[in-house]
A = this chain, B = another copy of it.
Amino acid sequence: MGLRKLGERKIIKLLTSRLRRSLGMISDFDDDAASFRFSGKMVATTDMGSMGTHFTNADPAKIGRKIITSNATDLLSKGAIPKYALVSMGFPESTKMEWLEKMYAAMDTQLSQYDAFLIGGDTNKASEFAYSVAMLGEAKGSILKRSSAEEGDCLVLTGNIGSAAAGYLIRKKGFKATAAEKREFFQAQDDPKINAALCKKIWPQAHAGIDVSDGLAFELNEIARLSGKKIVVEWEKIPRSPMLEKFCKRNGLNEEKIALNYGEDYQIVFTTPNAEHGIIIGRVEKGKGVFLKRKGKLKKIQSKGYEHFKSN
């Protein structure tokens, strides 16, 4: 059913009627503000985007999951577990109600893995699909900043990078891929998976954290700059899909550039003095800048000039 016939009140009723409800929630979904009890260190993040620039296809479930993931990784990188989300949406009147319901169901399911809840938001008419999510989380331990990396820390990553970029290059630039590559890379691009249980294991000893949504090179430069440290990352240790090298060779692509300069993988890099969990990819040292060690040679990695395909 189209939105024009429904009106805002019915739209909200349909969208919220099947959402899980937090026991801590005091207010009703149809009120102007959401309220809940909280005590502790709250971490809040917000993200805004539009259909044109942030998504490559229009599957509502994938969009719903990705919207939640991109905010959740911001919190997880700071040492916080997602608790509540406020989701605002703008959509053209021609949008189908079923499409929106699928997206909200997907957001709700995605939040449920953290035991987090969608508690409020705002709906608007808009000429193109646009969204804004505010997500609130709770940190039991220290807040992991970009600026708090310490000399001697290990650099720890939570999963593969480069796959989302490969998915983008296949879809948008027409590069050749096998069926298996497409399956894996599209999955990474549409449905980034972040291991919250692994993050929780890393947090207690970690010093700094950042998600690699804007590319590893850019994010490591942010940590190095704001912490006033040097970072050395080892190429051979960076976790990548076994298919990435072949895909790059076949298409004459620079694998290093794809793994380091593209983004959207939504993995998290932490710095921690005792790296018992996660994949160690390098080290924080005294000095300045970010360097890649490959076959024993050091090369400076620039923050500038990264190709952030979100805005392409």
A residues sitting closer than 8 Å to B (CB atoms) are: 26-28, 30-50, 53, 74-75, 77-78, 80, 84, 86, 88-90, 119-122, 124-126, 130, 132, 134, 136-137, 139, 143, 145-147, 210-211, 226, 311
Knowing A36-B41, A38-B40 touch, does A46 contact B122 (C-beta < 8 A)?
yes
Bound-complex Cα distance A226 to B121 (A): 19
Bound-complex Cα distance A112 to B238 (A): 46
Q: What residues of chain B lie closer than 8 Å to A53, measured between beta carbons?
A: 125
User: Closest CB of chain B to A114's CB: distance in Å?
Assistant: 14
Other A-B contacts than A50-B126, A86-B134, 4 sampled, CB-CB below 8 A, are: A27-B145, A34-B44, A39-B40, A132-B134
The answer to whether A311 touches B45, judged by C-beta atoms less than 8 angstroms apart, is no
The answer to whether A33 touches B134, judged by C-beta atoms less than 8 angstroms apart, is no
The answer to whether B26 touches A41, judged by C-beta atoms less than 8 angstroms apart, is yes
Q: Which of B33, B42, B143, B210 contacts A75 (CB 8 A)?
A: B33
Of A33, A88, A211, chain B has the most CB atoms within 10 Å of the CB of A33
Q: What residues of chain B lie closer than 8 Å to A147, measured between beta carbons?
A: 28, 30-31
Knowing A134-B86, A226-B30 touch, does A38 contact B46 (C-beta < 8 A)?
no
User: Closest CB of chain B to A81's CB: distance in Å?
Assistant: 12
Cβ contacts A to B, 13 pairs, < 8 Å: A28-B146, A28-B147, A31-B146, A31-B147, A35-B78, A35-B80, A35-B143, A37-B42, A38-B40, A46-B88, A46-B134, A48-B130, A86-B134
* 4 cross-chain pairs, A with B, having the tightest CB-CB distances, nearest first: A134-B134, A132-B132, A33-B45, A48-B88
The answer to whether A28 touches B145, judged by C-beta atoms less than 8 angstroms apart, is yes
Bound-complex Cα distance A78 to B35 (A): 9
The answer to whether B35 touches A44, judged by C-beta atoms less than 8 angstroms apart, is yes
User: Closest CB of chain B to A21's CB: distance in Å?
Assistant: 15
User: Closest CB of chain B to A122's CB: distance in Å?
Assistant: 5
Knowing A143-B26, A143-B35, A211-B32 touch, does A124 contact B49 (C-beta < 8 A)?
yes
The answer to whether B126 touches A33, judged by C-beta atoms less than 8 angstroms apart, is no
Q: What residues of chain B lie closer than 8 Å to A136, measured between beta carbons?
A: 44, 136
Of A50, A86, A134, A211, chain B has the most CB atoms within 10 Å of the CB of A134
Q: What residues of chain B lie closer than 8 Å to A146, measured between beta carbons?
A: 28, 30-32
Q: What residues of chain B lie closer than 8 Å to A49, measured between beta carbons?
A: 124
